[in-house]
Structures are given as C-alpha cells and as structure tokens.
Chains A and B, each alone.
Chain A
C-alpha cells in the first residue's frame, strides 16, 4: 500500500528511507524532503495542542497527482513520512494511523537494540521486514 516509507531524525537527516524498487527512487526522496517543511509547519502551528492531546499523527501533509504524503512525529521529534498511491482510495485514515503506529512500535524496538547507536542509519532486519510487509500489503 505504501510506496515509500521514511524515518527522519530530529535534526532532519534521513535515518531510513525505502521505496518500491520499480519507481524512480530520487523522486520519492525529493517528495519526502519537501514534506519536511510541511511537517515543521504543522508542528509549530499546532505544537501546543498536539503535545496536550498526545496526538502524534499529523494527517495528510499534501497530495500530489499520483500520491498522497502522510506524516507522523514522535514526542522525540523523529518524523515518519509515508507516501501512498492516491489511486488506492480504499485506504482510510484509520488504517494509515495504525500503519504509523506499527512503524512507531517497530522503531522503538530498533532503538532498544543495544547494538544500535542512536543517530545511525537503521539497518535492522526486523524493521526492514516490517516495512516490506507494509509496502506489499494490498499493493
């Protein structure tokens, strides 16, 4: 369902980015990069309210012709960005939300791995296969 999944560090450099192989990778990198501005905007705009409600899901960041970009930011300011094919109209907001939650849980496990140094690129096999399952699902 997702065509691209990215994890962005607090300082806005990519920790992990993966897209479906058949498409132009650079295009997705560009989309994710662009979306960071929207993420920042959303955080600063509703920063206080978000913190109060503990709402991490940012919702649709922006739509393009072929794709929709969704965002999620953790309390530690790590961002998850997901690009979804917009032809897939069956995807509800709730499902996106639960996908982000899965991503977040998986990211937490990666962080808890004693062999992972915070700030490094994510090379975990478990995380990789979780992302793969999200990309294959319904694709």
Chain B
C-alpha cells in the first residue's frame, strides 16, 4: 500500500515496505499461535471482516460512488476505485461467468506479498486472506444479499482470491462502494483472484 488516503481528498504516503513487513509479522505470529493453517486463515478472515465493516463507511464517505445498478458495475468500483484508493493498485477483472454473477480479480502486484516465499509446511496457508475478509465485511455492510467466502492463495508470489457469494439473493443492488473497500487490504498479495457467485 503505497498510499493511504486520509480524510477528504488529501492522501498520505507511507512506506510500502513497512506495510508489507507489518502484515508479514502479523501472519507469521498467527502461524506461531495457531496449530494449523486453516485456523490462521480463519483468523485473517475475521480480522479482515472487522476491517471491512468499518472501512466501508470510510470508502463511501470519500469516494462519492453511488449505488451500483448491476454486478459488473460493482466489480468495476471495487477494482478501479476501492483498490486504487487503498492499495494504489488496480486489479484486473476477468473470468466473468456467463450469467454475470461471478468474476475474478487478479492482483498483478499485490503489495502484501512483495518479499514472501511460502515455506513448504504452510502450503494451505492463504497468505492474503485478510483481503477476502475485508471485501466480505465491506460488501456485507452495503448489501444484505451478499455472503462472501474468500480464499487467498499466495504461492510464489501468486495470490488467488475466490469469493463465493451464497445465500439469499434478496435486494440485489449492490452499492458499489462496499466492494472497493476490500481491495485496500488485498495489496498484500501479488495476485488476487476473486470470484463471486450470487
């Protein structure tokens, strides 16, 4: 995250190394505290969720994005506004399902995984899972209809995020703003692949 915007339009810069190393220390500490990778993934997601539910407010207040009318618009806002705002990167959106209810976000250069090489004994660790949690939390706040499961994989600099949106499809309009918030956290990994179903 090269940039962290402060209130309003003014934006502050911070060292991306500091950010990356801080997140790395967080993940490795979790790895020490928990026996297996699954628990670590869960914790990361939980932390991300708590970030997301707060971050969405900030995002909505600062971005001036209105309600999204369809899922594609939502995806656009997440990738181009939210990620840009919080992580300074713009993931590419691919793999749209024919029904238009599922897509992937690819993070070409995830700042979170800059130096990371996953050791062999952590093969199931989803290093950037925090980002998934953030997206989940943020989206949940803007749309009751969304339930997202995130999977972030970081292996050799690759991060894949898979998101499943299951459950209720009630009121569909997703305010686009909520999605972008999650993006901020994603900068951890080099590649992020987010898929959503609804």
Q: B-contacting residues of A (Cβ < 8 Å)?
A: 109-110, 112-116, 123-126
Determine which of A110, A112, A115 lies in contact with B21 in the assembled complex, contact meaning CB atoms within 8 Å: A112
State which residues 139-153 of B face A: CB under 8 Å. Answer: none
B117-A112 in contact (CB<8A): no
**A114 vs B21: C-alpha distance when bound (angstroms):** 7
Contact of B60 with A by CB under 8 A: no
Task: Give 13 new A-B contacts, CB below 8 A, not counting A113-B115, A114-B23, A114-B27.
Answer: A109-B115, A112-B17, A112-B24, A112-B115, A113-B117, A114-B28, A114-B115, A114-B116, A115-B24, A115-B28, A115-B31, A123-B119, A124-B117
Q: Which residues of A contact B119 (CB under 8 A)?
A: 115, 123
Interface centre among B24, B27, B115 (most CB of A within 10 A): B115
Chain B, Cβ-Cβ closest to A108: B115
The answer for the CA separation of A112 and B17 in the assembled complex, in Å, is: 9
The total of chain B residues at the interface (CB under 8 A) is 17
List 18 A–B pairs whose Cβ atoms lie within 8 Å, in order of A's numbering: A109-B115, A112-B20, A112-B21, A113-B116, A113-B117, A114-B23, A114-B24, A114-B27, A114-B28, A114-B115, A114-B116, A115-B24, A115-B31, A115-B117, A115-B122, A116-B117, A123-B119, A124-B117
CB proximity of A71 to chain B, nearest CB, Å: 26
Distance of A15 from chain B, by nearest CB (Å): 16
Q: What does the 1/0 interface line of B14-32 toward A look like (CB < 8 Å)?
A: 0001001101110110010
Which one of A109, A113, A114 has the highest number of Cβ atoms from chain B below 10 Å of its Cβ?
Answer: A114
Would you give the 0/1 interface string for B21-58, flagging 1 where the beta carbon is closer than 8 Å to chain A? Answer: 10111011001000000000000000000000000000
* Bound CA span A126–B31, Å: 22
Nearest CB in chain A to that of B118: its residue: A115
- Chain B residues touching A, majority SS: helix
CB of B114 within 8 Å of the partner chain: yes
Q: Mark B119-146, 1 if CB is under 8 A from A, else 0.
A: 1001000000000000000000000000
Q: How far is the CA of A125 from the CA of B115 in the complex (A)?
A: 12
On chain A, the residues within 8 Å of B117 by CB distance are 113, 115-116, 124-126
A125 to B118 alpha-carbon distance, docked (Å): 10
Residues of B within 8 A of A112 (CB): 17, 20-21, 24, 114-115
Instruction: Return the chain A residue nearest B22 by Cβ.
Output: A114
- Closest chain-A Cβ to B159's Cβ sits at a distance in Å of 15
User: B21 — which chain A residues lie within 8 A by C-beta?
Assistant: 112, 114
- Which B residues lie within 8 Å of A123 (CB)? 119
State A126–B190 Cα separation when bound (angstroms). Answer: 15
- Output the nearest chain B residue to A114 by Cβ-Cβ distance: B24
Please name the 3 residue pairs, one residue from A and one from B, whose CB atoms are nearest each other, closest first: A114-B24, A112-B115, A114-B28
